[in-house]
Structure 1
Amino acid sequence: PRWKEFTHTRGGPLSPRQSGTEERGLKHYWFTSWPDQKTPDRAPPLLHLVREVEEAAQQEGPHCAPIIVHCSAGIGRTGCFIATSICCQQLRQEGVVDILKTTCQLRQDRGGMIQTCEQYQFVHHVMSLYEKQLSRQSPE
């Protein structure tokens, strides 16, 4: 892969515990260079991971199972990834993004999402980079 900061493995099918329920495939992404309660050294790998996960979900189509995101506590790195994913989609669809509102909503859903000021600032940095990428891609 282009980015060495995360790995992608394709797990085998998950067999249901209850009879009559469907079998599902599993794609597992592991962001190996993101330390707990900190931020990655660079923003592009997170954007690349968000894009990869979005593309995988689009390939599954309308039958795509929910995306599960988790880290050790399920609030720091998880919150950054989810906020980035939501904000990227919002920026593409609406042309504006509200990172504070997104963070507040995530914290209402799960307390403590985006654990540190450093992580919150990192989401801002990632979104600034993404906005620049989008503006270069759009025709004038």
Structure 2
Amino acid sequence: MAHTDWPDHTAPLSPLPTVALLKLARMLCGGNPITVHCSAGIGRTATFVGIDYAVQKIYQSDKVSMIDVLKDLRNQRLHAIQSPIQYAFLHLCVLEVFIEVQQSDQIAWL
């Protein structure tokens, strides 16, 4: 699978395709880890992994600190999430998932 509409150092205009890709990846992985990589592995990759990580935290405890997500990512990968727009996009995607969860009262694809 590939997310071809995601320019380097920035973010897509809408969170919907990224959330859809995450859902598909989660469903296809069957509970196994998802392998993700972009050119450097710190911008788009870290943002995508951050979305998945934050969603997992919401699923486990109904709350998440986005700054803690960023800190955890950067403890594992220096400079993870390269730009303010990627950090904002992380929030948008997590908000989109949260809205879906509130409307359906479940996350079937986790």
Matches within 5 A, 1:1-140: 29-58=1-30, 64=32, 66-138=33-105
- Provide the alpha-carbon RMSD of the alignment: 1.4
Structure 2: 5+ residue runs without aligned partners? none
Which structure has more helix as a fraction of its residues?
2
Structure 1: 5+ residue runs without aligned partners? 1-28
RCO higher in 1 or 2 (8 Å CA, sep ≥ 6)? 2
Amino acid at match of 1:48: A
The TM-score with structure 1 as length reference comes to 0.71
Write the distance in 2 (CA, Å) between the matches of 1:47 and 1:98: 19
Which structure has more strand as a fraction of its residues?
1
Amino acid at match of 2:10: K
Q: How far 1:93 sits from its partner (Å)?
A: 2.0
Moved runs in structure 1, 4+ residues, more than 3 A?
Answer: none
The TM-score with structure 2 as length reference comes to 0.89
**Amino-acid identity (%):** 31
